[in-house]
Amino acid sequence: MKSYEIRHLYLDFFKEKGHSVVPGSGLIPFDDPTLLFTSAGMVQFKKFWATDTPLSYPRATTCQKCLRAGGKDSDIDKIGITGRHHTFFEMLGNFSFGDYFKKEAIEWAWEFVLEHLKIPAGYIWVSYYEKDDETKEIWKKFLPVERIVPLSDKDNFWGPAGETGVCGPCTELYIDTGIKKGCSSGCRPGCECGRFLEFWNLVFPQYDKQTDGTLLPLKRRGVDTGMGLERITRIMQNAPSNYETDLFLPIIKKIEDISGCSYDKDEKKKPSFRITADHIRAAVFLIDENVLPSNEGRGYVLRRIIRRAEMAGADLDIKEPFLH
């Protein structure tokens, strides 16, 4: 299945379930001084949970451009190393603002994964917040209890995006990529070895985190999910990492043409290919929103991204400027 087909399948599925299909917002958050960049699908909706003013829709679904390259949510140091992290990526999401809650969010996630993506149930594991028994009970309808794993707030309490605001317990869906990929026979979701690939996070926003760390109840509780398009595409295309998918292979091919290096034949050069391919996407989408390289703020993040991509290019023996 092509990546664009997955985008459409997701948005159409949630439209059928009564969600408004809303355009993703820009990478520069509108009217939100707490964030450098849009780091999740929920960013444009933060106020919907925090106020009780009437809304034009109680459910929404989006495909959101995200950037995790500066501030608390930055993944920049993992790029190229893991094969599953990005600075720029797309997040598919469904949202409820004081409308449906855990039961529907989990049942629809299960329905989408099994009946529409057609991933066999035997490959799926989930994690949940260790104090959230309600979520565990819902998952027990679908999965044996050994594949429902409790994790602490470090893994299964999401948010806020930035330092303050909307947050809550979450439950994550993982695909088991096979015992041979694991670090030990006891390896489970939560382990960083890479055997279990997390691809969908279902968050249940319930709290508004204050600057002093206090968690106040939100005016509207709800649902905020995030499925990484690059990760689900990797799963659907049975690729060894996010980079061997239709979202990245054309860029990697172009880097091969420019550098004369081979992505498949030279394992040691793979991280440099991946960094370049990841960072060029981030740079293009930032420049598209009028961010230009500079010495501070967003412009500095862009400068750092371009500098790192140039350095990765140098590792691929590229001697001339090439990112343009």
Q: Which positions lie near ligand GLY, rule CB under 6 A?
A: 40, 42, 158, 201, 203, 224, 226
Number of helices (H) and strands (E) in the chain: give both, helices first.
Answer: 9, 11
> Which residue's CB is nearer to ligand GLY, number 132 or number 224?
224
- Judged by phi (left if over 0) then psi (alpha if -120 to 50, else beta), residue 129 lies in beta
CB of 201 to ligand GLY, least distance (A): 4
Q: Give the shortest CB-41-to-ligand GLY separation in angstroms.
A: 6
C-beta of 176 vs 224, nearer to ligand GLY: 224
DSSP string, 123-179: GEEEEEETT-HHHHHHHTTTS-GGGEEEE-HHHHEE--SSSSEEEEEEEEEEEE--G
- Residue whose CB is less far from ligand GLY, 222 or 313: 222
Alpha carbon distance 134, 67 (integer Å): 32
* DSSP characters over 170-234: EEEEEEE--GGGSSSTT--BTBTTSSEEEEEEEE---EEE-TTS-EEEPSS-EEEEEEEHHHHHH
State the nearest-atom distance from the C-beta of 10 to ligand GLY, in Å. 14
Of residues 36, 96, 87, the one with CA closest to residue 225: 96
Nearest approach in angstroms of CB 228 to ligand GLY is 8
**Minimum distance of ligand GLY from residue 227's CB (angstroms):** 8
- Residue 119's region, left for phi above 0, alpha for psi from -120 to 50, else beta, is beta
Nearest CB to ligand GLY, comparing residues 125 and 263: 125
Residue nearest to ligand GLY (CB): 226
Q: How far apart are CA 113 and CA 6, in angstroms?
A: 11
Specify the residue, 208 or 224, whose C-beta has the smaller distance to ligand GLY. Answer: 224
| Residue among 171, 127, 129 nearest 153 (CA) | 129
DSSP state of 120: -
Q: How far is the CB of 226 from ligand GLY (least distance, A)?
A: 3
Of 158 and 273, CB closest to ligand GLY: 158
Nearer to ligand GLY (CB atom), residue 94 or residue 272? 94
Q: Which is nearer to ligand GLY, 68 or 308 (CB)?
A: 68
CB of 199 to ligand GLY, least distance (A): 11
DSSP string, 34-69: T-SS--SGGGGGHHHHH--S--S-SEEEEEEEEE-S
CB of residue 161 to ligand GLY, shortest distance in Å: 7
Q: Phi and psi dihedrals of 133, rounded to 5?
A: -65, -30
Task: Give me the least distance between CB of 88 and ligand GLY, in Å please.
Answer: 14
Beta bridge partners of 88: 67
Closer to ligand GLY by CB, 28 or 258: give it. 28
